[in-house]
Amino acid sequence: MDKYSDQLKLKVVKAYLAGKAGAIALGKRYDVEPSLLRRWAAAYQIHGLSGLKRKYRRYGADFKLTALQHMWDNHLSYRETAAYFDIRKTSALGEWERLYHIGGIEALSPGKRGKSKKMRGTSSIAIKSGNDETRTREQLLEELNYLRMENAYLKKLEALIQASKKSAQSKKHK
């Protein structure tokens, strides 16, 4: 059962949109997180009463990519994009974005958890040794892709370590 009834959601959203009180004041009065209240209000403005109803959905890779592309093209926040596409879990967009940057559209397919198939098999690629002439073009390209990914990861890690050290040193000198 939903923690908040549809009637309560509608009452609070209408009060918020009418400007009777801010999200923080209404949140305290009705025991609702202000961010949740703002999300309800945005969903209500775009989708009406159906935006307040609780829904459980699984989204396909095409839908996820469309939502991400819309977010990037229009420079929207996760919350704005979630309201526009009626996505209940705002944090899902961050997860989809991370997955897309790691594994492309294949990583966005429903039901995939953890590493994508493409990434699962890569750990053994660098270990493979042998004659390059006997390996197929696909195997060589797969290894090349893995090595490029590994190199980018290590560069990013090194940059983060250097930034952390620099930050620590600047805090010491203050």
Please give the single-letter amino acid code of residue 157: L
Check whether residue 129 and residue 161 sit in a common domain.
yes
Check whether residue 129 and residue 109 sit in a common domain.
no
- Would you call 36 helix, strand, or coil by DSSP? helix
Check whether residue 73 and residue 109 sit in a common domain.
yes
Structure tokens at 61: 């890779």
Taking alpha carbons only, the member of 56, 97, 107 closest to residue 76 is 97
How many Å apart are CA 44 and CA 12, to the nearest integer? Answer: 11
pLDDT above 90 for 156 = no
How many Å apart are CA 147 and CA 145, to the nearest integer? Answer: 5
Segment 72-130, tens digit of pLDDT: 999 999 988 888 887 878 888 999 899 888 888 888 886 645 554 555 454 455 445 56
Q: How many domains, the chain?
A: 3
Check whether residue 45 and residue 92 sit in a common domain.
no
pLDDT averaged over every residue in the chain:
80
pLDDT above 50 for 50 = yes
Residue 130: what pLDDT? Answer: 64
Helix (H) or strand (E) holding 3: none
Q: Is the pTM of this model over 0.85?
A: no
Domain enclosing residue 32, as ranges: 1-54
